[in-house]
């Protein structure tokens, strides 16, 4: 007989709103993410608009991508935006020293990125260069992007074909300043961020949401220093004008930095170690949020996890500097587990960006370098199945008798939300072998018109390729039955299920 797990959801008690920006994305000038992934150039045979791949745009539009972070990552701190504007033939090239030492021709620059965001319907999130750039360079970029009327940067923008300013809210003050972004101490970076943040001005009604480059994983001391030095919160509980949020990065790497493990060849122990690593993001968000609570109990400063996801050894035969990896059902379950955790922290965590959207690390889309064929990954499907949580009110889920576990890893994970009279419940069964039945006790309202979908596969190693593009793809799930108090949902081993219904 199956394991039965009772779960209580009070559908009439709304928690914090799940910011849609928790479903954010990340596109760096790294490997084939931008070039070949998002952008093929106007002369390509791949259907494009201004060089931007239309098949990629169409696939991503189905995810309701709320924001796209660009141009890095580490690349952001060696990027000089003025090299990426004007006629393409005149744009100077540079060496991308972080990622494969390849030449970057700057054909994808500011205008191309903003055009991509417009096609996607996503807000831009631009990471400015603190590591090797100047305050003036950053200040000019903000003016170029967001100022109306007449000014030196506005004239330059207009000369490059764009009359109206763009709306750019999300503004990153550098990236990983403790490492590739300048190898700074927290104190050094905080002082830099004060200057860069000050001169990143609000022009007209464009109000920047400045995001300071935060900690690596569990470096709570970094967060504490930023909260002390970037806030004016101690005395007046008032956020500083030059920082509205701070970030941190956390990747799921169960192996060592030198040998991270393979994306598709792994055993049960590797699998459970991976999911246990992924579950750690709960502890990390709690740790950073606790530090922030000391300085900012009113939660005016946002916490942003602007890089997350699995990081494996590159696929055999590919450039080690391009970070190209396959994506299996295991990666999908890493994603579904992250989202349950993000939803529980919706009061402080305001944005998250998976690394990265196309052809790099835990991607949504993989494109074939020779044929251009596009494949949607299992992770893509989790983003699609979960998109109803964006901007919904979180609903607390209680598991009164506890949940099954493998060592420290709890193998059943749930989260729920409501929006516009619809309830959406996400359920993951992380166990490799054991199915589970979840007895959902829905209190405070009945749910009708229930429909459910499932993402699973014969094996956790299953993945999609151009030859088998739907090896891991969602299907209708008919193993949901009404009970006196709610619903019984059957979860096969290693599966992700979403159940949606209308509040009666």
| Contact in structure between 8 and 398 (CB atoms under 8 Å) | yes
| Best CA proximity match to 247, nearest among 219, 276, 283, 206 | 219
Q: Hey, how many other C-beta atoms are within 10 angstroms of the C-beta on 30?
A: 29
- Pick the binder of ligand AHR from 7, 9, 28, 174 (CB under 6 A): 28
The residue ranges of DSSP E strands in 119-226, in sequence order, are 123-128, 170-173, 209-216
Nearer to ligand AHR, 166 or 248 (CB): 248
- Pick the binder of ligand AHR from 31, 73, 214, 378 (CB under 6 A): 73
Rounded to the nearest angstrom, the gap between the alpha carbon of residue 153 and the centroid of all alpha carbons in its chain is 31
Which residues partner with 47 through β-bridges?
none
Q: Cα separation of 140 and 147, whole Å?
A: 10
491 HSE (CA, 13 A, CB side):
31
- Determine which one of 112, 143, 176, 384 is catalytic: 176
Backbone angles phi, psi at 249, to 5 degrees: -120, 140
Angle at which helices 186-199 and 220-230 pack, to 10 degrees?
40
Residue nearest to ligand AHR (CB): 73
Nearer to ligand AHR, 357 or 367 (CB): 357
**Candidates 15-23, 71-79, 284-292, 343-351; binding stretch for ligand AHR (CB under 6 A):** 71-79
H helices within 374-489, ranges in order?
378-385
Q: Cα separation of 436 and 415, whole Å?
A: 16
Residue 307: active-site member: yes
**Candidates 67-75, 225-233, 313-321, 386-394; binding stretch for ligand AHR (CB under 6 A):** 67-75
Helix (H) or strand (E) holding 375: strand 374-376
Query: CB of residue 253 vs ligand AHR: minimum separation in angstroms?
Result: 11
H helices within 15-132, ranges in order?
54-61, 110-120
Q: What is the dihedral of CA 134, 135, 136, 140, to 10 degrees?
A: 110
Query: CB of residue 207 vs ligand AHR: minimum separation in angstroms?
Result: 26
- Determine which one of 28, 104, 192, 307 is catalytic: 307
Q: Cα separation of 70 and 77, whole Å?
A: 11
Nearer to ligand AHR, 28 or 123 (CB): 28
Helix (H) or strand (E) holding 271: helix 268-295
Number of residues that bind ligand AHR (CB under 6 A): 10
Backbone angles phi, psi at 52, to 5 degrees: -90, 130
Nearer to ligand AHR, 245 or 438 (CB): 245
Per-residue contact track with ligand AHR, 137 to 176, x per CB under 6 A? --------------------------------------xx
Q: Cα separation of 367 and 469, whole Å?
A: 12
**Candidates 131-139, 165-173, 290-298, 355-363; binding stretch for ligand AHR (CB under 6 A):** 355-363
**Candidates 60-68, 354-362, 412-420, 495-503; binding stretch for ligand AHR (CB under 6 A):** 354-362
Q: Cα separation of 390 and 388, whole Å?
A: 5
- Pick the binder of ligand AHR from 72, 84, 174, 378 (CB under 6 A): 72
Q: Cα separation of 97 and 27, whole Å?
A: 17
Question: Does the footprint of ligand AHR cover residue 314 (CB under 6 A)?
Answer: no
Nearer to ligand AHR, 189 or 496 (CB): 189
Nearer to ligand AHR, 214 or 231 (CB): 214
- Pick the binder of ligand AHR from 77, 123, 307, 384 (CB under 6 A): 307
The residue ranges of DSSP E strands in 34-111, in sequence order, are 48-49, 52-53, 67-70, 94-96, 102-104
- Pick the binder of ligand AHR from 5, 74, 454, 460 (CB under 6 A): 74
Query: CB of residue 212 vs ligand AHR: minimum separation in angstroms?
Result: 14
DSSP state of 463: B
Residue 176: active-site member: yes
Per-residue contact track with ligand AHR, 170 to 209, x per CB under 6 A? -----xx---------------------------------
Give residues in contact with ligand AHR (CB under 6 A).
Answer: 28, 72-74, 175-176, 307, 355-356, 361
Instruction: State the catalytic residues.
Output: 176, 307
């Amino acid at each position: 007989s199956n394991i039965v797990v009772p779960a209580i959801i009070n559908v009439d008690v709304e928690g914090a709103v799940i910011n849609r920006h928790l479903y954010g994305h990340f596109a760096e000038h790294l490997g084939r993410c931008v070039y070949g992934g998002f952008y093929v150039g106007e002369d390509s045979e791949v259907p494009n608009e201004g060089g931007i791949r239309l098949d990629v745009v169409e696939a991503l539009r189905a995810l309701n991508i709320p924001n796209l972070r660009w141009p890095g990552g580490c690349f952001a701190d060696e990027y000089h935006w003025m090299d990426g504007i004007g006629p393409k033939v005149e744009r100077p090239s540079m060496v991308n020293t972080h990622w494969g030492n390849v030449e970057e021709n700057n054909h994808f620059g500011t205008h191309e990125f903003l055009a991509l965001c417009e096609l996607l319907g996503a807000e831009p999130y631009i990471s400015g260069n603190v590591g090797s750039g100047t305050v003036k360079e950053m200040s000019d970029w903000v003016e170029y992007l967001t100022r109306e009327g007449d000014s030196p940067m506005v004239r330059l923008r207009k000369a490059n074909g764009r009359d109206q300013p763009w709306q750019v809210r999300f503004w990153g003050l550098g990236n990983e300043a403790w490492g590739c972004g300048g190898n700074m101490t927290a104190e050094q970076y905080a002082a830099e961020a004060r200057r860069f943040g000050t001169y990143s001005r609000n022009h007209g009604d464009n109000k920047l949401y400045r995001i300071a480059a935060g900690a690596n994983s569990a470096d709570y001391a970094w967060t504490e220093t930023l909260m002390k030095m970037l806030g004016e919160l101690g005395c007046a509980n008032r956020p500083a004008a030059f920082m509205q949020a701070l970030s941190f990065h956390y990747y799921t790497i169960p192996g060592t930095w030198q040998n991270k493990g393979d994306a598709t060849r792994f055993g049960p122990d590797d699998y459970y170690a991976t999911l246990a690593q992924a579950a750690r993001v709960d502890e990390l968000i709690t740790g950073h949020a606790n530090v922030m609570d000391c300085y900012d109990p009113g939660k005016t400063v946002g916490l942003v996890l602007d890089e997350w996801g699995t990081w494996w050894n590159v696929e055999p035969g590919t450039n080690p500097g391009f970070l190209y990896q396959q994506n299996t059902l295991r990666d999908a379950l890493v994603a579904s587990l992250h989202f349950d955790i993000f939803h529980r922290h919706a009061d402080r965590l305001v944005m998250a960006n998976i690394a990265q959207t196309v052809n790099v690390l835990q991607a949504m889309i993989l494109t074939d370098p020779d044929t251009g064929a596009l494949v949607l990954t299992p992770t893509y499907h989790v983003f699609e199945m979960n998109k109803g949580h964006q901007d919904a009110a979180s609903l607390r889920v209680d598991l009164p008798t506890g949940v099954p576990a493998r060592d420290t890893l709890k193998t059943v994970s749930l989260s729920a939300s409501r929006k516009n009279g619809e309830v959406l419940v996400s359920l993951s069964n992380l166990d490799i072998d054991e199915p589970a039945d979840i007895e959902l006790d829905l209190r405070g309202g009945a749910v009708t018109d229930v429909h459910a979908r499932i993402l699973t596969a014969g094996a956790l190693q299953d993945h999609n390729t151009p030859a088998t593009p739907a090896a891991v793809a969602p299907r209708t799930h008919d193993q949901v039955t009404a009970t006196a108090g709610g619903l019984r949902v059957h979860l096969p081993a290693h599966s992700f299920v979403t159940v949606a219904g209308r509040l009666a």
